[in-house]
């Protein structure tokens, strides 16, 4: 099994398209006003937006986008006018993260984890125990 796509809600899909294109995603499906889908610049995952009348309440959705050159990418987005809630910061879980919200308040985390994404020091060993 492989994660293919994540879909988030939006009250204004057209406005969200502009935001995600500014982040660097490539628009591949545009079915306004209800739906849009993007390719991520690296890998084969896709990301989509669906129109909703009301956004979910509470903390909402967290979306992680891995960036090989996090600090550079964040600097470029700041130059384009993107506002971050957290600039690149080393975390105790051994990832470097920057946080921002999309136009609908969905929490986005741009991060770089390297080897620690799949193989942190505390990874559960999947070898059978004697």
The pLDDT of residue 60 is 79
Q: Partners of 110 in the beta sheet? A: 65, 98
Q: What is the mean pLDDT of residues 4-23?
A: 95
Residue 124 lies in a domain: no
pLDDT digits (tens, 9 = 90+) for 31-88: 999 999 999 998 899 999 999 999 988 877 899 999 999 999 999 999 999 999 999 9
Residue 25 lies in a domain: yes
Range of the domain at 84: 5-53+60-115
Residue 64 lies in a domain: yes
The pLDDT of residue 27 is 98
The pLDDT of residue 127 is 65
pTM for the whole structure: 0.89
Residue, of 125 and 34, whose pLDDT is higher: 34
Residue, of 127 and 84, whose pLDDT is higher: 84
Q: How confident is the model at residue 128 (pLDDT cuts 50, 70, 90)?
A: low
What is the four-CA torsion angle of 59, 7, 24, 103, rounded to 10 degrees? Answer: -40
Domain count, the chain: 1
The CA-based angle 46-51-55, given to 5 degrees, is 105
Asked if pLDDT for residue 126 goes beyond 80, the answer is no
Q: Is the CA virtual torsion 47, 114, 73, 99 positive or negative?
A: positive
Residue 81 is part of a domain; what is its CATH number? 3.10.180.10
Report the alpha-carbon distance of residue 103 to residue 19 in Å, rounded.
Answer: 7
Q: What is the largest CA-CA distance in the chain?
A: 57
Residue 128 lies in a domain: no
């Amino acid at each position: 099994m492989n994660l293919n796509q994540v879909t988030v809600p939006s009250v204004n899909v057209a406005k969200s398209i502009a935001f995600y294109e500014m982040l660097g995603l490539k628009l591949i499906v545009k079915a306004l006003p209800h739906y849009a889908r993007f390719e991520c610049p690296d890998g084969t995952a896709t990301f989509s937006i669906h129109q909703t009348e009301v956004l979910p309440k509470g903390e909402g959705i967290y979306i992680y986008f891995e960036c090989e050159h996090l600090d550079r990418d964040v600097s470029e987005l700041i130059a384009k006018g993107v506002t971050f809630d957290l600039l690149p910061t080393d975390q105790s879980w051994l990832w470097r993260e920057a946080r921002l919200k999309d136009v609908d308040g969905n929490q986005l985390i741009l991060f770089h984890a390297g080897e620690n994404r799949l193989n942190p020091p505390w990874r559960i060993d999947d070898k059978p125990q004697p």
